[in-house]
Structure 1
């Protein structure tokens, strides 16, 4: 992969801009104020809720039990986050957005579920003549899917509204949905592992860990991914009220899949259904993820080729930036330099990829003034990146 600046028709390098008249270089309006402050406030609120949820668990289970449950729950969490990282490698999402997604799942979604469950239990106790509680199977198949998926899906939708420039399609929705789900499953696992330890000791904890931590660590990811991918398709197709329609469609899919999963555990032979139904669903999800990732590579090549035609990239750069072998070759070249230029090349790859996806939004008629501003900023960043690589 050539990392030198492409030459313009006059033999100069590092072109100053695209052909005149390109709408991306009209003076754009400033970004909507307040979004950054809202993000900071939401992360702070989610962090505070996380402290409250941790306190609730410590009071309910005991601090030592929570510590043990947390340590065990880190294993399935690491498995899920490793998979999310693999999905997110081509165009990584900003860390602040991923932190917000995780905290929303681990704290806010859990808090909503706990409050609703408490309300349902109190309502059942006051309305039943004998003070009976709600049916556990009904809770698992109806209440939990509806409340939990609505709480988690609201977090994905909120991230879409706050981070539109980082929410380009189904893969982004999958990443955010999976991260929210990973946070929720982590806290839920702490609770389940803690209860298992109290009720049955190490043996019961081991059984629960095998079932939840090894056999089904991706259960919540599969559910909430339906909502995230649906919002991602909405982001790709357009904006406005249509996003809510896609959100509802994805949410219904998440609720139905969650209810089916819980129902198979409550009413059927869970072991048999795991291999005959749940494993095929998981394999199908992997296939869809791989296809979506390939689509990301195709979009990168097509849109960067348009910039290459305008002189912003050489064809060698396009070939290198739009394939995994090309990126690996570029990073190998960067590591071999003295001094190494790995950070500069990584930044060049990241900026060029974001540029391609931003251009895709503009080219398909879905851009607002912020996207045009993003394109201008990213083109300037690409020029700086190339200069830094050249030393």
Structure 2
């Protein structure tokens, strides 16, 4: 069991450390980040139950329903709700980049638990593939979600609109990822460039969040 847990956790923890250390101004308390990670991991069980229940009722027979609703919508809306309920109004959520840290922690908590269960069922030899594609994609969906949640936190006039973006964009990205896997025979040919796009997008959001926070600090110092 230990090899499965280690192989399942390692990529998620590595990615979480990477994005946590990308915060250039004020890193979040580890206790808050770990709590979000654990909340994300616990999400696996209600998500599996909901997906199984709907599938048993025959709601997800279409490939598009499976791609958009069975996985992308259910997973992203519950991750979004956890971030909103657990940390959006928390005192430690005090800068724009914090949204990325917390949303990525929730996403990677979910990805690590899902990964461990998958490795137990399919073998530890699939760990490298899982790290490169599913775990990394969940992290990057979390980065996009967290970027917009961070924007919404400090933009009360447009908060509701930006919060919609914070769900819609990762949901659509997740749906495209699923569609590639479900509809393309040579899925690797399409998935590799899509993952490169996700990494470029995610790292740009990281850079923009830090730049916005830097501008905010300079403005406060000047005033």
Matched, 1:73 2:3: no
1:192 to 118, 125, 140: 118
Once residues 299 and 123 of structure 1 are traced to their aligned partners in structure 2, the CA distance between those partners, rounded to angstroms, is 51
TM-score, length basis structure 2: 0.87
Gaps of 5+ in 1: 1-63, 125-132, 198-204, 307-391
Say whether the 8 Å CA contact 1:176–1:228 is kept in structure 2: yes
Which of 52, 57, 62 is the matching residue for 1:123?
57
1:52-201 matches, within 5 Å, as 64=1, 67-107=2-42, 109-124=43-58, 134-135=60-61, 137=63, 138-163=65-90, 165-197=91-123
Residue number in structure 2 paired with 1:60: none
Deviation above 6 Å: which 4+ runs of structure 1?
Answer: none
Q: Is 1:236 aligned to 2:154, yes or no?
A: yes
Task: Indicate the structure with greater helix content.
Answer: 2
* 2:196 aligns with one of 279, 289, 294: 279
Residues 112 and 151 of structure 1 are in contact (CA less than 8 Å); yes or no, is this contact kept in structure 2?
no
Asked if 1:289 corresponds to 2:206, the answer is yes
Whole-angstrom CA distance in 1 between matches of 2:86 and 2:221? 27
User: Residue 57 of structure 2 aligns to a residue in which SS?
Assistant: helix
Q: Deviations over 1:162-208 (max 9, x none)?
A: 40x332443111111101011000001001111112xxxxxxx32x2
The CA distance in 2 between the partners of 1:279 and 1:222, in whole Å, is 11
Whether 2:215 is the aligned partner of 1:301: answer no
> What is the rounded CA distance, in whole Å, between the counterparts of 2:140 and 2:80 in structure 1?
12
Q: What is the rounded CA distance, in whole Å, between the counterparts of 1:275 and 1:122 in structure 2? A: 33
What is the TM-score with the length of structure 1 in the denominator? 0.52
Name which structure has the greater RCO, CA cutoff 8 Å, separation 6+. Answer: 2
> For 2:55 and 2:18, how far apart are their aligned partners in 1?
36
C-alpha contact 1:150 1:251 (8 A) present in aligned 2: yes
Residue 36 of structure 2 contacts residue 102 of structure 2 at CA under 8 Å; is this kept in 1?
yes
Verify the 8 A CA contact 2:68 2:175 in the aligned structure 1.
yes
Contact 1:169/1:233 (8 A) holds in 2: no
User: 2:140 maps to what in 1?
Assistant: 222
Q: RMSD of the alignment, in Å?
A: 2.3
Alpha-carbon deviation of 1:298? 3.1
Mapped contact 1:101–1:159 kept (Cα < 8 A) = yes
| Secondary structure of 2:28 counterpart | coil
Contact 1:87 1:175 in 2 (8 A): no
Q: Distance in 2 between matches of 1:284 and 1:230?
A: 13
Superposition map of 1:256-275 within 5 A: 256-268=172-184, 269-275=186-192
1-structure distance, mates of 2:177, 2:153: 28
Task: Decide whether the 8 Å contact of 1:102 with 1:182 is kept in 2.
Answer: yes
Q: Taking structure 1 as reference, are residues 136 and 70 closer, same or farther at Cα in structure 2, changes over 3 Å only? A: farther
